[in-house]
Amino acid sequence: MRYNRFTMNFFLKNKLIFIFIILIVTIGLLILTIALVNNHIKGTYYNETFERQYAEETLLNESLYDFTVGNPSGRINLIIYADTDCPFCQKFEAAISELLRDYPNDVSVTYRQYKLPTYPTSHYEHLALECIGIHKGSDAYRQFQNTVLYQTDLSDYPDPRQDALDLAVDFAEETERGDLTKCINSSETEARIKNKLDTANILGVRQTPTWFVITDTSEGYKKYVGSVSYQKLKWTINASLSDNYLE
């Protein structure tokens, strides 16, 4: 009987020690898990913050990848994300034309491509458009976009990449076919377009046209989505010229 009591006391004490050890280990694992989760969340937050900051700096500062028309020294810069197969972008261009006509000294317009998933062949149009801009300049970029690509649906063509090249050559000159071919097939051109797409996604662009208004009196910007009439666009521009526009 005494042996049984001793045995029971021994196992009871060891059981308590064993439970205490398990409790300590569990608490330690819990603390470690919380620390790892916090580091992951903090790392994700810092990463997203850095990407957002980079995207906003790219938006607010002139990029080597941009094509801009109008007065580069104007008080207002519009940055437009558009898809060449988007009918609303084409409609919005009518308002942009009037804006550039009525505000020749105050406004510049910067174009950036944004491919929508609903228009699978527009990527090849964007390649051709980018190459026209590289070889012929910003005015040619806008003219090619408005007079050729907005009027053409490459989804009806058998070879969209080749047909986009043919459109670019017809717009430029046959003597430039070699340079345009090299440009359209270049990984650098693909990277330029991807850079614009990545920046747009970070800035929350999800449809076209999406446009940003940046003034020379503020470090901020305002974002708008969708095509608007010229009257509404003009009201926005006039409002942006006031000192309290972005306050």
The predicted pLDDT at position 166 comes to 92
User: Contact 124/161 with Cβ under 8 angstroms?
Assistant: yes
The pTM (predicted TM-score) of the whole model is: 0.74
Distance CA 199, CA 90 (A): 22
Q: State the burial class of residue 200 (Cβ atoms within 10 Å of its Cβ: 0-12, 13-18, 19+).
A: buried
The answer to which of 3-12, 14-23, 103-112, 214-223 has the lowest mean pLDDT is 3-12
Confidence of residue 245 (pLDDT cuts 50, 70, 90): very low
| Helices and strands in the chain, H and E counts | 8, 5
The predicted pLDDT at position 59 comes to 66
List residues bridging with 181 in a β-sheet: none
User: Contact 80/111 with Cβ under 8 angstroms?
Assistant: yes
The predicted pLDDT at position 111 comes to 95
List residues bridging with 107 in a β-sheet: 76
Residue pLDDT, tens place only, 49-78 = 555 565 666 666 656 568 999 998 899 999
b/e sequence 4-16, b meaning 16+ C-beta within 10 Å? eeeeeeeeeeeee
Distance CA 109, CA 130 (A): 16
Distance CA 102, CA 99 (A): 5
**Residue 189: pLDDT over 50:** yes
Q: What is the CA radius of gyration of the chain?
A: 29
Distance CA 21, CA 63 (A): 61
Domains of the chain, by residue range, sit at 1-61, 67-240
Amino acid present at 153: D
Q: State the burial class of residue 112 (Cβ atoms within 10 Å of its Cβ: 0-12, 13-18, 19+).
A: buried
The predicted pLDDT at position 150 comes to 86
Distance CA 120, CA 199 (A): 20
Residue 102: CA count within 13 A, CB half-sphere: 13
CA dihedral defined by 178, 189, 93, 97, rounded to 10 degrees?
Answer: -70
Average pLDDT, the chain: 82
Which of the listed ranges 71-75, 100-104, 156-160 does the model predict with the highest average pLDDT?
100-104
Task: Summarize the confidence of residues 129-158 as an average pLDDT.
Answer: 89
* Assigned fold of 67-240: Glutaredoxin (3.40.30)
The predicted pLDDT at position 18 comes to 65
Phi then psi dihedrals of residue 213, to 5 deg: -110, 125
Question: Residue 50: left if φ>0, alpha if ψ -120 to 50, beta else—which one?
Answer: alpha
